[in-house]
Chain A
Amino acid sequence: DTGVSQDPRHKITKRGQNVTFRCDPISEHNRLYWYRQTLGQGPEFLTYFQNEAQLEKSRLLSDRFSAERPKGSFSTLEIQRTEQGDSAMYLCASSLVADSGNTIYFGEGSWLTVV
């Protein structure tokens, strides 16, 4: 039983470039989340999918950010025209609708450094 998988684990990019992160959730999980975490802070909610439908987006998610989950399985998070303030760890998590406690399980995270 594999956990949540994220790729790449680390990305260094120049300001203004586009980056894309991929997340593969636990196979039977139908909910998928993206969070952002900066140093010394807890994870902040960015967006949430149930199957392929994106049901909520945080105001933190500017129009430079877009997330997709085309077939209700893996998801991608793209950041266009990166800025230094985008430097953070981007965490993906998944859960099962049938789990009444909605316990979420995290991947290892994708570190983004914008130089």
Chain B
Amino acid sequence: AQSVTQLDSQVPVFEEAPVELRCNYSSSVSVYLFWYVQYPNQGLQLLLKYLSGSTLVKGINGFEAEFNKSQTSFHLRKPSVHISDTAEYFCAVIRNTGGFKTIFGAGTRLFVKA
């Protein structure tokens, strides 16, 4: 079975500062990894995904994430955040062979302050 741990429940940061949201996963098999964003009272929107190849993946809204197999991590970064980035961010994992169930972490609330 797979599991996801998001190490920070809340991350406050000032506007235009860089941010990193941390995600670690556990799995006995190879996986695909995802980051989703959720704005208040809305569903989840895909930010980016890692399937294979380059370990640095770029997504929408200037976000990027780096897959580190040895550390089983998939941290999300943005070099300069905006007020509009305030939202809940979820890391997710699915096994890459025969998988159909995406498993989500508990989420990290990013709060961008002016």
Contact = CB atoms under 8 A, between A and B. Distances in A.
Interface stretch (A11-19, A42-50, A59-67, A70-78): A42-50
Range of interface residues on B (Cβ < 8 Å): 20 to 34
B100 A106 contact: no
Interface string B29-67: 000101010000111111001010000000000000000
A101 B32 CA distance: 7
A109 interface: yes
B81 interface: no
Interface of A: 4, 6, 31, 33, 35, 40-45, 48, 50, 55-56, 91, 100-109, 111
A102 B100 contact: yes
B102 interface: yes
B111 interface: no
Contacts of A108: 42-43
Contact of B44 (A41, A44, A91): A91
Contacts of B99: 102
Given A91-B43, A91-B44, A109-B42, A101 B49 contact: yes
Nearest to A44: B104
15 contacts: A6-B43, A31-B100, A41-B106, A42-B4, A44-B104, A48-B100, A50-B100, A101-B49, A102-B32, A102-B94, A103-B34, A103-B46, A106-B45, A108-B43, A109-B41
Contacts of A104: 102
Interface string B97-108: 001111111110
Nearest to B34: A103
B74 interface: no
Q: Point out which of B4, B42, B102 has the most chain A C-beta atoms below 10 A from its C-beta.
A: B102
Contacts of A35: 104
Contacts of A43: 44, 90, 104
A48 B101 contact: yes
Given A35-B104, A41-B106, A103-B49, 17 more contacts: A31-B100, A40-B9, A40-B106, A42-B92, A42-B105, A43-B104, A44-B104, A45-B101, A45-B102, A45-B103, A48-B100, A101-B49, A101-B94, A102-B99, A104-B102, A106-B36, A109-B43
